[in-house]
């Protein structure tokens, strides 16, 4: 790959400045994770250092620079995107099998010489990752420094921290009070033998305090840390972000406010009478190092991570109502889309217009706050790019024949939605239909599954893949992720994915909302993904124990024009008809006119 000059590409100058700083600090390799002090998936601009240096905008990736090499490690969901965005730079794409891979650590251990120094800012490095990195380097006598942030030195116009105001997620949508959530957290702390608990993950904090914000695009969270003790809870948050009236309500629940920058100092003064609970996967190495030397530390999953994943009955009811509004918005959108595609006099329709129209349809619905992620609208070959995003400079016109994949979602006061549908444009052939039907068979297989209550969520992945495997097909991403309640569209602890370790904390529990989204992607041709959200509900109880099953939450027709009926079993056809009958009954009261007509047509029995 031929490097460009700084006049052609700003990345060259940025990389040159970084290497100069590395030489000044006697650093041989500098690592920039895709993370912030809260280990977020989606980052405020201030911490998008990997993107600033490399130009790669995917949500997962690690950048490493030495004096002669620069590369970005990312997984198969982003390879096509990364190849495009890294083109023309002196930065290599380093392909890894999954987002959970730590091959960049293996690379450092193999390519750095004994005595050389690797540096990474501990403030954005997860504690569990830091331990793995330290272990891998120490056996090779490679020095690890965690006390330097070279980005501050070389990023002259680095964005500041966001200052949007925090707001309260109030009743009736916040069905459990802040006081009750704090009491439950304190009970879990006591069970773990702890009298203090430090939390950095933003969705955990937003959940615990019934607060929301706008510091991270698409995620209704705000920058903060929290320290909970039996008597008090301290929220470390930016000055001026909490309105006066909200301050008073927080104080009434025993919540104190402190400057955002003071969190590390508060940990440093913890004494010998403190047993601190921290989650090693949800705290940075920098924060862990700040803990006072006299304090005892207990490591376990954040209690709030479990609590927020298990939606209450009241929350589930709000989500069901939200799904009706979201489904009605989609009826309006798809009715418009089909009418537009059928109009021979229409203006050219692009993937960008899909994003605008689907967001506008949701915005007309009660309780809508904003999109839950950037809409993916990929026509034909673009649909085969798993995390494709149309831009002003690179997008397709939707014309001719093929398949259009649309993955979108909304943030509502009563829940978070995430849905993928694929629709036929013009004429499609038997190969399209076969792939579409195989993907739908995978969705149906897992949607109908019953499984033991303590089943580890990664183990369910094969159920959705089995129909595709039987046909010699597969897909390169997980089958399902947890979904928050007016929170992050990706949450844990459950993960239906072959790359996730089937550990005890990943077990399925009643109340969890999870996506089911199998797919088939044929590079340069088309991509198919069908996604519904499901709720874990009680199943059978037998001499073999308690079982769970799924209730499908998402309400939107599946395009039966894309089906190959010859490869559907009778029970699979019945599932489709039952699902569409439910969709019609639940959405009909919320739509009228063209949207109602479209709903009726697309839910006809097969």
Query: Per the structure, how many domains does the chain have?
Result: 3
CA distance 25 to 403: 53
Single residue among 154, 181, 202 that ends a domain in this structure: 154
pLDDT of 5: 39
pLDDT at 1: 31
Mean of per-residue pLDDT scores for the chain: 94
Q: Does the bond joining 157 to the residue before it have cis omega, within 30 degrees of 0?
A: no
Domain membership of residue 1 (yes or no) is no
pLDDT, tens only, 13-66: 999 999 999 999 999 999 999 999 999 988 999 999 999 999 999 888 999 999
Structure tokens, 160: 């500041």
Are 276 and 368 contained in the same domain? no
Domain boundary among 154, 175, 192: 154
Instruction: Render pLDDT for 426-485 as a digit per residue (tens, 0 to 9).
Output: 999 999 999 999 999 999 999 999 999 989 999 999 999 999 999 999 998 999 999 999
Question: What's the per-residue H, E or C state across 37-100?
Answer: CCCCCCCCHHHCHHHHHHCCCCCCCEEEECCCCEEEEEEHHHHHHHHHHHCCCCCEEEEECCCC
CATH at 246: 3.40.350.10
Burial 439-462 (b: 16+ CB within 10 A, else e): bbbbbbbbbebebebebbbbbbbe
Residues 317 and 298 in one domain: no
Burial of 5 (0-12, 13-18, 19+ CB in 10 A): exposed
Q: Are residues 106 and 180 in the same domain?
A: no
Residue 162 lies in a domain: no
Residue 5 domain-assigned?
Answer: no
pLDDT at 99: 58
Whole-number pLDDT of residue 3:
34
**Residues 204 and 139 reside in one and the same domain:** no
Tokens 């695009």 sit on residue: 217
The residue-averaged pLDDT of 215-239 equals 96
Residue 6: predicted pLDDT? 43
Q: Are 397 and 541 found together in one domain?
A: yes
Q: Do 245 and 362 fall within a single domain?
A: no
Tens-place pLDDT, residues 352-398: 999 999 999 999 999 999 999 999 999 999 999 888 888 888 899 99
Q: Are 257 and 250 in contact (CB under 8 A)?
A: yes
pLDDT of amino acid 389: 86
The answer to whether position 419 is within a domain reads yes
- Tell me: do 494 and 423 sit in the same domain: yes
560 lies in the same domain as 470: yes
**Statement to judge: residues 202 and 179 lie in one domain:** yes
Q: How far is CA 140 from CA 108, 126, 130, 137, in A?
A: 10, 22, 16, 5
Question: pLDDT of 525-536, one tens digit each?
Answer: 999 999 999 999
Domain assignment present for 403 = yes
Same-domain status, 193 and 331: no
Predicted pLDDT of residue 150: 95
361 and 392 in a common domain:
yes
Residue 263 lies in a domain: yes
The rounded radius of gyration (Å) of the Cα atoms in the chain is: 25
Question: Which whole number is the average pLDDT over 147-164?
Answer: 94
* Helix H or strand E segment including 466: helix 461-470
Domain boundary among 97, 129, 154: 154
Range of the domain at 446: 310-602
Query: What average pLDDT does range 169-187 have in this prediction?
Result: 96
Q: Global pTM?
A: 0.92
Residue 160 belongs to a domain:
no
Q: How far apart are the first and last CA of the chain?
A: 53
62-65, strands of its sheet edge to edge: 92-96, 70-75, 62-65, 29-33, 117-120, 143-145
CB 386 within 8 A of CB 407: no
Encode pLDDT of 91-103 as tens digits.
999 998 865 678 8
Summarised one tens digit per residue, pLDDT across range 86-138 is 988 999 999 988 656 788 999 999 999 999 999 999 999 999 999 999 999 99
- Claim to verify: residue 325 and residue 282 sit in the same structural domain: no
What CATH code is carried by the domain that includes residue 514? 3.90.230.10
Cis peptide before 221 (omega within 30 of 0): no
């Amino acid at each position: 790959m031929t490097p460009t000059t700084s006049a052609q590409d700003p990345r060259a100058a940025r990389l040159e400045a970084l290497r100069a700083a590395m030489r000044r600090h006697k650093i041989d390799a500098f690592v920039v994770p895709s993370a912030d002090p809260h280990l977020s998936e989606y980052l405020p601009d201030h911490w998008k250092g990997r993107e600033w240096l490399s130009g790669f905008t995917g949500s997962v990736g690690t950048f490493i620079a030495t004096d002669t090499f620069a590369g970005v490690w990312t997984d198969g969901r982003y390879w096509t995107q990364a190849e495009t965005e890294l083109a023309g730079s002196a930065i290599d794409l380093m392909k890894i099998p999954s987002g959970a891979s730590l091959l960049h650590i293996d690379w450092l251990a193999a390519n750095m010489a004994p005595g050389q120094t690797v540096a990474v800012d501990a403030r954005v490095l997860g504690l569990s990752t830091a331990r793995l990195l330290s272990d891998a380097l120490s056996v090779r006598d490679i020095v690890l420094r965690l006390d330097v942030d070279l980005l501050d030195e070389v990023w002259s116009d680095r964005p500041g921290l966001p200052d949007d105001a925090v707001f309260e997620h109030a009743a009736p949508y916040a069905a459990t009070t802040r006081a009750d959530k704090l009491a439950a957290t304190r009970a879990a702390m006591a069970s773990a033998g702890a009298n203090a608990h430090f939390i950095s993950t933003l969705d955990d904090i937003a959940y615990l305090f019934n607060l929301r914000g706008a510091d991270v695009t698409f995620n209704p969270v705000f920058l903060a840390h929290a320290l909970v003790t039996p008597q008090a809870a301290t929220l470390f948050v930016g000055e001026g972000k909490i309105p006066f009236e909200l301050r008073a309500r927080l104080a009434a629940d025993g919540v104190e406010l402190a400057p955002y920058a003071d969190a590390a100092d508060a940990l440093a003064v913890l004494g010998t009478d403190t047993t601190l609970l921290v989650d090693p996967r949800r705290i940075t190495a920098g924060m862990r190092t700040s803990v006072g030397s006299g304090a005892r530390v207990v490591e376990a999953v954040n209690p709030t991570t479990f609590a927020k994943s298990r939606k209450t009955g009241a929350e589930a009811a709000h989500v069901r109502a939200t799904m009706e509004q979201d489904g009605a918005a989609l009826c309006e959108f798809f009715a418009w889309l089909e009418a537009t595609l059928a109009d021979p006099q229409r203006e050219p329709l692009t993937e960008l217009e899909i994003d605008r129209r689907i967001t506008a349809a949701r915005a007309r619905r009660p309780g809508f706050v904003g999109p839950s992620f950037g809409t993916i609208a990929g026509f034909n070959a673009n649909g085969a790019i798993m995390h494709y995003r149309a831009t002003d400079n690179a997008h397709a016109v939707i014309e001719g024949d093929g398949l259009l994949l649309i993955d979108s979602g909304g943030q509502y006061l009563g829940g978070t939605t995430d849905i993928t549908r694929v629709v036929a444009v013009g004429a499609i052939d038997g190969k399209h239909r076969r792939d579409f039907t195989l993907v739908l068979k995978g969705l149906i297989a897992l949607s109908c599954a019953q499984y033991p209550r303590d089943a580890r969520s990664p183990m369910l992945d094969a159920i959705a893949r089995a129909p595709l495997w039987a046909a010699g097909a597969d897909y390169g991403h997980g089958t399902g992720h947890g979904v928050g309640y007016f929170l992050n569209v990706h949450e844990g602890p459950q993960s239906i994915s072959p790359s996730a370790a089937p550990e005890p904390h990943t077990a399925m529990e009643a109340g969890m909302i999870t996506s089911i989204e199998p797919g088939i992607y044929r590079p340069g041709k088309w991509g198919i993904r069908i996604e519904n959200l499901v709720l874990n509900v009680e199943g059978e109880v037998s001499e073999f124990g308690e079982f769970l099953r799924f209730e499908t939450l998402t309400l939107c027709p599946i395009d039966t024009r894309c089906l190959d009926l010859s490869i559907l079993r009778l029970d699979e056809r019945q599932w489709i008809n039952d699902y569409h009958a439910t969709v019609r009954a639940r959405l009909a009261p919320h739509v009228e006119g063209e949207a109602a007509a479209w709903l009726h047509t697309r839910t006809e029995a097969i």
